[in-house]
Amino acid sequence: MAKSSKKQALGRGLSAILNDPSKDINTAQDKNADKVIGSMIEIPIDSISTNPYQPRTNFKEEGLKELATSIKELGIIQPITVRKTGFNTFELVSGERRFRAAKSIGLKTLPAYIRIANDRESLEMALVENIQRQDLDPIEIALSYQRLIDEIQLTQNELSDRVGKKRSTVTNYLRLLKLDPIIQTGMRDGFLSMGHGRALINIEDRNIQLALYKKIIAKGLSVRATEALVKKEKDQHAKPSSEHSTPQFALSVAQEMEQVLKTKVRVKTNSMGKGSLQIFFDSQEALNAIRNQFNSES
């Protein structure tokens, strides 16, 4: 009981600081900032706005109703995280499902951890924290990874460290963004798994991608069956081999470059071992991404 009283007293003390305009805290250097940053306090729900950088775009109604019922019975078990944006105003960093569910049952306040961060830091915190959620679909994760690369200027190595994933895992998610948008939507809606997507990405022609996608949906093909279907399609369109075969070392280098650059790389060699590399791109943005990848690796 003593522990509970102490916790409530702490909340009242923080409330006094946050509700006094003369003591308003806007930066980590302001007086009493150390008492606010990282502390938990009950915040009026009407003073919290949603995060425009929220990577999750699909909030399933059934899941929110179940969470709302749980909150109604047990309360908020895990506080949300917010950043202070002004006097007595806050913006969500993580916990939007809890925020939405609590609001739907009429809660007036929410327990929250307070952070003070600029927009760039808020974006990074929101993306990294939400990537850890279990209910993000593969495309949402891939888009979040891409935003961290584009907007926070992280390299793939830095990104893999931030999110605690192997670089190969990060690369596999990012490659999903090369799928036709219709297929990406199918993955977001749960018609395809990440395994299906990883198989289809091996088909460059988007028209063929879509034709195979329709066949997968119509026949309810498994990932393994999809991989076999893709292999059959690639074998049918394989070019006849020439008299001179490309050395394995050159093919291996081209394959490694494809994984790093996330685009097709073609290698040609002659019988003397000399050759050339051809790197493909389909837009100025894609070319800039390739250039940035070279710069980050140098």
Does the active-site annotation cover 96?
Answer: yes
pTM of the model: 0.48
What tens-digit pLDDT sequence spans the chain (298 residues)? Answer: 333 333 333 345 566 656 665 555 665 556 655 555 656 788 899 989 987 766 666 667 888 888 899 888 888 878 888 888 877 788 888 788 889 899 999 999 998 888 776 666 666 777 777 777 666 789 988 988 888 888 778 888 888 888 888 999 999 999 999 999 999 999 988 899 999 999 999 998 989 999 999 999 999 999 999 999 999 998 887 655 445 577 778 787 878 888 777 788 888 887 667 788 888 877 777 777 778 877 776 5
For each of the domains in the chain, give its residue range(s) and CATH number, in order of start: 2-124 (3.90.1530.10), 131-236 (1.10.10.2830), 248-297 (no CATH)
Angstrom CA distances, 288 to 34, 95, 261, 284, stand at: 42, 34, 11, 6
What pLDDT is attached to residue 6? 35
Type and span of the H or E element at 251: helix 248-261
> Which residue out of 96, 124, 140, 233 is catalytically annotated?
96
